[in-house]
């Protein structure tokens, strides 16, 4: 059905040619046996030729609607003058009238409507029909055809305007997403700076220790070198992620910054939060009116600072969305430690705000973009969507042994 609608809107030449052929065939078949008692003669070779002249121009009706109407209407009048049944060829002039009303301004449409009415009255006069009935038909039928054409023109203009506005809305949305990505990149870069600075400090201290006891305590120096090796690997991984982030353009990512329940605007050198602070966050969310059940599954263990920061921010944004969009609701946060990954799931049983109409493109919230950007930087994934039994679910999966760039 949609394909047929698109073909009609495009107005392909072969479609109009098919209509012209169909009108011609119908007119020839009906004209062989006119309505009994009307006095019209059956179509002969001349009638068929005039019928072709009435309907053939319809094949180019969209390219030259006024010219097509003039040819179709005048040959229709000639067809009536030759005493052929006018009804069989009335479809062509009416379609030409509709086309003029749909593609041209109101003034030529009104003139063409009057011309069709006059030809209709002329046909009634030739048939000897009662004048009041003929005049009524000559007024109503052309007016209805013209009205449909004008309505089609208005509808087409409205559709073009809506398409233009939709395109503008998509461009504005893309621009907002690019700005959001840039903002989140700056935020993550500041946080990764703290991670790298921490690793470099450890390396510096351990390097000084190893140098100091290199000759007197070889085992202590060896342990310090091992610590430097492990710390440098983690630091290089964080540094590589930061450089990848800064090197990637906004068009290649989907990221933006979250606004957490404990405040979005963290200072550049504030201590980075981790999973150990989820209890504090849950208490703050409970104080905001949303009951939170925090569960830990598996054996908790130290993780890379960047991984813990990513998990913390995702939980923060998910609970913020519950506060903003799903109250009253109960939230559940499950932190599951796997052998090689970390899974954080945040669910609620609330009702989201009503969805937008189908003809309005959805807008991606900055918080959701930020979740995906953070997970992507650490080789993880985020699954976001409504639950089958009501509410919403956010599930973050992070490989705890992932290295940037691998």
Q: Which whole number is the average pLDDT over 242-253?
A: 55
Is residue 261 very low, low, confident or very high in pLDDT (cuts 50, 70, 90)?
Answer: very low
Higher pLDDT, 51 or 10: 51
- 78 pLDDT more than 80: yes
| DSSP type of residue 84 | B
Higher pLDDT, 354 or 55: 55
Q: Quote the pLDDT of residue 354.
A: 42
Is residue 297 very low, low, confident or very high in pLDDT (cuts 50, 70, 90)?
Answer: very high
Whether 273 and 194 have beta carbons less than 8 Å apart is answered as no
Q: Quote the pLDDT of residue 193.
A: 61
Is residue 272 very low, low, confident or very high in pLDDT (cuts 50, 70, 90)?
Answer: low
Can you give the residue ranges of every domain in the chain? 2-129, 173-399
- pLDDT per position as a tens digit, 222-233: 887 877 777 777
**Which residues contact residue 48 at a Cβ distance below 8 angstroms, ignoring those fewer than 6 apart?**
28, 31
Dihedrals φ, ψ of 216, to 5°? -85, -35
Rounded to the nearest integer, the mean pLDDT of the chain is: 77
Map 214-282 to HEC letters: CCCCHHHHHHHHHHHHHHHHHHHHHHHHHHHHHHCCHHHCCCCCCCCCCCCCCCCCCCCCCHHHHHHHH
- pLDDT per position as a tens digit, 128-167: 776 787 788 888 888 888 888 888 888 888 888 898 899 8
Q: Which whole number is the average pLDDT over 69-86?
A: 88
- Bridging pattern class, strands 381-386 and 392-399: antiparallel
Distance separating alpha carbons of residues 160 and 18, to the nearest angstrom: 27
Q: Which whole number is the average pLDDT over 201-220?
A: 77
Distance separating alpha carbons of residues 166 and 322, to the nearest angstrom: 30
Q: Quote the pLDDT of residue 129.
A: 72
Q: Which whole number is the average pLDDT over 348-353?
A: 70
Lowest-confidence region among 33-47, 50-64, 86-100, 301-315: 33-47
Cβ burial of 365 (10 Å; 0-12, 13-18, 19+) is: middle
Distance separating alpha carbons of residues 129 and 390, to the nearest angstrom: 70
Q: Which fold has domain 173-399?
A: Heat Shock Protein 90 (3.30.565)
Name the pTM for this structure: 0.45
């Amino acid at each position: 059905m949609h394909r047929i609608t698109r073909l009609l809107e495009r107005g392909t030449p072969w479609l109009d040619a098919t209509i012209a052929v169909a009108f011609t065939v119908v007119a020839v078949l009906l004209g062989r046996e006119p309505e009994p008692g009307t006095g019209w003669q059956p179509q002969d070779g001349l009638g068929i030729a005039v019928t072709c002249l009435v309907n053939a121009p319809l094949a180019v009706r969209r390219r030259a609607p006024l010219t097509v109407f003039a040819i179709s209407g005048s040959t229709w009048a000639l067809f009536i003058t030759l005493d052929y049944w006018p009804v069989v060829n009335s479809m062509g002039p009416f379609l030409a009238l509709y086309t003029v009303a749909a593609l041209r301004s109101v003034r030529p449409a009104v003139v063409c409507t009057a011309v069709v009415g006059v030809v209709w009255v002329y046909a009634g006069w030739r048939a000897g029909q009662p004048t009041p009935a003929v005049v009524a038909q000559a007024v109503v039928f052309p007016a209805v055809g013209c009205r449909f054409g004008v309505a089609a023109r208005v509808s087409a203009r409205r559709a073009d305007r809506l398409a233009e506005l939709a395109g503008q809305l998509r461009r504005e949305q893309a621009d907002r997403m690019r700005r959001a990505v840039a903002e989140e990149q700056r935020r993550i870069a500041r946080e990764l700076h703290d991670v790298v600075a921490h690793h470099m400090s450890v390396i510096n201290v351990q390097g000084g220790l190893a140098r100091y006891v290199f000759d007197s305590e070889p085992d202590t120096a060896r342990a310090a070198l091992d610590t430097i090796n492990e710390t440098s690997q983690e630091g290089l991984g964080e540094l590589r992620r930061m450089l990848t982030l800064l090197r990637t353009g906004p068009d290649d990512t989907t990221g933006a910054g979250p606004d957490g329940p404990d405040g979005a605007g963290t200072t550049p050198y504030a201590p980075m939060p981790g999973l150990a602070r989820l209890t504090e966050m849950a208490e703050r969310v409970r104080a905001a009116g949303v009951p939170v059940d925090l569960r830990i599954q598996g054996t908790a263990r130290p993780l890379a600072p960047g991984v813990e920061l990513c998990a913390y921010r995702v939980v923060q944004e998910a609970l913020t969305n519950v506060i903003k969009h799903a109250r009253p609701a109960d939230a559940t946060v499950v932190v599951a430690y796997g052998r090689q990954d970390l899974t954080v799931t945040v669910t609620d049983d609330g009702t989201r705000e009503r969805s937008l109409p189908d003809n309005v493109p959805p807008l991606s919230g900055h918080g959701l973009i930020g979740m995906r950007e953070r997970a992507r930087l650490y080789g993880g994934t985020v699954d976001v969507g409504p639950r089958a039994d009501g509410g919403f679910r956010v599930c973050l999966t992070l490989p705890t042994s992932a290295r940037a760039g691998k």
